[in-house]
Amino acid sequence: MSALLETKGLTKSFGALRAVDDVSLTLAAGDTLGIIGPNGAGKSSLFNLIAGVMPADAGQVLWQGRDITTLSAAERCREGVGRTYQIPKPFDGLTVYENLLVAAEFGGGGGDGAEAKLLCCNILDQMELSHLADAAAGGLRLLERKRLEMARALATRPKVLLLDEIAGGLTDLECGSLIAAIRDIKAQGVAIIWIEHVVHALFAVVDRLAVINFGAKIAEGPPKATFESAEVQSIYLGIEA
Amino acid sequence: MQISRADSVRIGLLSVVLIGLSMGPYWADRGTMRLLIEAFYFLALAQLWNLLAGYSGLISVGQQAFVGLGGYLLFTLTMFAGLPVLLALPLAGILTGILAWPTALVAFRLSGPYFAIGTWVIAEVYRLSFAQISSLGGGSGISLPTDIVRSMADGRSARESLTYWIALAIMLAVILGIWALMRSRVGLGLGAIRDNEEAATSIGVRTTRLKFSVFVGVAAMTGMIGALIFLQKLRITPEAAFSVNDWSVLVIFIVVIGGIGSLEGPILGCILFFVLREFLADLGSWYMIILGVISVGIMLLEPRGLWGMLNRKRSLTLFPIARRSPKLKSLNQDTP
């Protein structure tokens, strides 16, 4: 059986800079993979390649064994790739509920009417945003914006959710409730790839960890062991082994 | 369905205005009627440009291409194909939409400011092309033959009333059509594009396809309005038909001072524009200078225009679009 999502030798350069260098990853349905790496290592660029926001220079993205490298971001979302942005990009002129509704009606196979509305209400509940449903998304605070970012991605009914530094900038308390929400999503069987600097948050959720440096994957394996390996410690934390 | 107090005020207000306007030929003199016809088509053009720029992020300064095309198509269809005016009018719109298709294929290769300049250049190409067609009067233009004008209605005042009602109907169709569109699934997608195009693609909105459809649809309606404009003027020249000043600059002025990205904004902008024009018309070139200063001033004070100033809390609305969450409603009913 083929993996849910697979990248093969994914590469992207900006001028002389190799932002993503020959990255191959495999994700089975329901898998959770954490990605860490120093700032500017190319983690977000990798997400942009997987989500189809920018074209790859080389390599492939496979979706359930099918090559989707040339599909647009919108088509990939309709297939089941949901993503959040590191800096939340809410639709400020719409209400919180409408932010979810547009995602439910266009993403992940679409679907109009009652089913989409019900889905949105359930996600608002799950993400603790119900009390803000009819508020303008432009007026939200950071934690609410991050929750909305995740709620909107969920409304597209993703099979895999790409989370980009969703815990960054939150207090410990806020972070804890976010982790609980992500574990819920995991429990529903959604596969997750999560880029994060807040390592303890990652450890609380992911089954596997990959480390990226200068665009290339340098290690992958069980979270704790991978993080504590000498190579990762020296590169990621700047500690001499 | 329950009708709230705000809804009944809204419906009452709109009905009074509508009934008053539709009786126009019975209370207005000829000059007022001409002015109202002009206001109707400028408001329709402004709403269409707002749909393009305010909702779809397509800043076009070349809508005069479609006004001109519609006008020339009306003359061509009535003079050479012998079609009745009332049939030629919608047909001119449909044909303009079809011609907008290849135009869009060229323009959509450009983005941002290049798109704006590109649309302008394309409109200039249309202008220069029509100036070459000698059967349409070339560069000096052509008048609509009197037998065609007479075929519309018996007598001048009947014809002017008919033109008035057509203009009113087109304006209402444009406003209500855009309102219905914004309340639909497509409108929700356009709202997402307006707020953040990249995020819109990431949640599955096929942005390019949607924008393309909007561009072509707007062009078709713009073409029909162009046909109406030159049906009223009875004479068409390439300069007047493809005027960037009349059909883009003034229209953009109306939308920007009124408030871009809302349905109410262009209505306010249109009223202000015609009031200003009536007072400033005798000042010659100062008129345009003052308009320019006012629009810059309003943009600096409030980017969302006059409507944005009046409606800082975004609580007022004449054309409600927002979708309320179903669960909250049932919660509200539970608590007294």
**In chain A, what are the domain boundaries?**
1-80+158-241, 93-157
Confidence of residue A223 (pLDDT cuts 50, 70, 90): confident
B110 Cβ partners below 8 Å, 6+ apart? B117, B118
With pLDDT > 70 as the criterion, what percentage of chain A qualifies?
95
pLDDT in tens, A97-142: 999 999 998 886 556 677 888 889 889 988 888 898 888 888 898 8
Nearest residue in chain A measured CA to CA from B321: A94
Quote the pLDDT of residue B331. 47
Q: Is the pLDDT of residue B137 over 90?
A: no
Q: Determine the average pLDDT of the residues in B261-276.
A: 91
Q: Is the pLDDT of residue B39 over 90?
A: yes
Q: How far is B64 from chain A (nearest CA, A)?
A: 30
Q: Which of residues 137-196 of B touch A (CB under 8 A)?
A: 185, 188-189, 191-192, 194-196
pLDDT in tens, B94-115: 999 999 999 999 999 988 889 9
pLDDT in tens, B195-212: 898 999 999 999 999 999
Closest residue to B202, CB basis, from A51, A110, A134: A51
B312 in contact with A at a CB cutoff of 8 Å? Answer: no
Q: Determine the average pLDDT of the residues in B205-230.
A: 95
Question: A122 to chain B: which residues are within 8 Å by CB?
Answer: none
Q: How far is it, in rounded angstroms, from Cα A121 to Cα A128?
A: 10
pLDDT in tens, B301-321: 888 888 888 877 666 777 877
Eight-class DSSP state of A132:
G
CA contacts within 13 A on the Cβ side of A108: 21
With pLDDT > 90 as the criterion, what percentage of chain B qualifies?
54
B5 in contact with A at a CB cutoff of 8 Å? Answer: no
Quote the pLDDT of residue A238. 66
Q: B interface mutation test: which of A79, A95, A106, A148 has the most B CBs within 10 A?
A: A106
Q: B interface mutation test: which of A49, A83, A91, A112 has the most B CBs within 10 A?
A: A91
Closest residue to A156, CB basis, from B188, B203, B261: B203
Question: A155 to chain B: which residues are within 8 Å by CB?
Answer: 203
pLDDT in tens, A14-71: 988 888 889 999 999 889 999 988 888 888 899 999 999 889 999 999 999 899 998 9
Q: How far is A134 from chain B (nearest CA, A)?
A: 6
Confidence of residue B221 (pLDDT cuts 50, 70, 90): very high
Across the interface, whether the CB atoms of A134 and B189 are under 8 A apart is answered: no
Quote the pLDDT of residue A112. 63
Confidence of residue A234 (pLDDT cuts 50, 70, 90): confident
Quote the pLDDT of residue A96. 94
Closest residue to A156, CB basis, from B198, B204, B322: B204
What is the domain class of A1-80+158-241 according to CATH? alpha beta
Q: How far is B87 from chain A (nearest CA, A)?
A: 37
Across the interface, whether the CB atoms of A103 and B189 are under 8 A apart is answered: no
Across the interface, whether the CB atoms of A78 and B195 are under 8 A apart is answered: no
A54 in contact with B at a CB cutoff of 8 Å? Answer: no
Q: Which of residues 49-88 of B touch A (CB under 8 A)?
A: none
Q: How far is B94 from chain A (nearest CA, A)?
A: 29
